[in-house]
Every structure is written in C-alpha cells, then in structure tokens.
Structure 1
C-alpha cells in the first residue's frame, strides 16, 4: 500500500493522456484518473461526479464545458464540491464515510472527460 505522499507525487507525473477509459454512465476519464481510482479504490468518486451530470445540473451554461471538482477529507468523512469557476460553488455533497487516503484532491471535468489538473 502506498502512502498518501507517494500517491500525490505519482499523480503529478500525469501530464497528458493518450488513452481514455469509458465509465458506465457514458463519460470518459484519463490514465491519471484511472491510476487515482485504482490506487485509492475510489471508483465511487467517479460515480459521484458523473451521477451529478443531469439535465438540470447542466442547464447552467457555465457547467457544460468545464467543471472544477474538489474532495476534502477529514476524520474519514468528506465534502465533494463542484465549482464552475474558482470559488464559484454550485454543488456540495457530504460524504458520511470514506477511506480515501488523501486530504484533498482537485479534478476537472472538461467536455465530458474527467482529468487531473496536471493533464489539462
């Protein structure tokens, strides 16, 4: 099992993706996201983000092309938020329990592809 520091360090090495993986909800994600999900066993995070991509949510034109997602974890509970721009929060979901090993992670959803910031 890798330490949170090792995982964070390895995530920074992803700077592009030649392969896209397809999620069961029809969205795609990069090699960096696959690495994150495999190493931290957090496919639930992809499910959570993609499940919010409803017609009502996407009726906000600011969210159709680009979204910023944050997961913050403290004492084995988390808060998942979505912003359409820095500090412009449009969604907040409380996660009662998680064993996600990192204190925080930021992800982008750009044109229906979930990516790490370093892959943008």
Structure 2
C-alpha cells in the first residue's frame, strides 16, 4: 500500500499531472476581518442561490445553506467574501474556507464587526 502511494506521488511529480498545490491569482490585496488572524466569524449568512465555483479558490454553496463569513475582501467593491458552509449534517461537507460572491448570500446574524484590515497573502488564494 505504501509503495503504491509513493509511486502515485512520484508519477504525479514527474509527469506534472497533479492540479493540487498551485498558486492562483489574488482576488484582493486586503481583507476585513474580526481579528488579525481572521479566525473569528464576522457573520452568518444564508445562500440565496446555488453557486458552482469556477476554480479552487471558491467553495460550492447550495441555496439555503448557512455560510460562516470570516473575511470580506476589500478591493473591487467588496465583491467576494471568504467563509465556510455548514450542511444539515456536520459530516456531509468538509470544513474548508473558500471564497464566494457576496451577492449570493443575505446576512442573517452579525457576530463581530469586521474592524481589522489585514493584508492578504499568497496562501489566501492557494489551491490544495
């Protein structure tokens, strides 16, 4: 089993066939968060419509899902937010933070004001 995994990883690296672990273009240079680490949610929102992401920087969202918003990107008119979705059952979706258009959600509960401006890094838009 371990040798098969090593072979797969080696082939992936040699043939450059893996899409994981790539740097994507930044969506913004700054974001607004509740704290300097962007570790506390700013608000809870409900999805007004389905969102199917075009690349790995974004998360898929289904209409009616709750979205925990951790950051609001500042540039380009606050078009994108970063957050995670919670399905009806916790184990149905991996907890992963990704971006989504702010226009597809409505705010339901404000948790903490987005009062801290933080510079984005390449890791904010790294696809794994």
**TM-score (ref. length: structure 1):** 0.27
If asked which structure has higher relative contact order (CA below 8 Å, sep 6+), I would say: 2
**TM-score (ref. length: structure 2):** 0.26
Pick the structure with greater CA Rg. Answer: 2
- Give the structure with the higher percent helix: 1
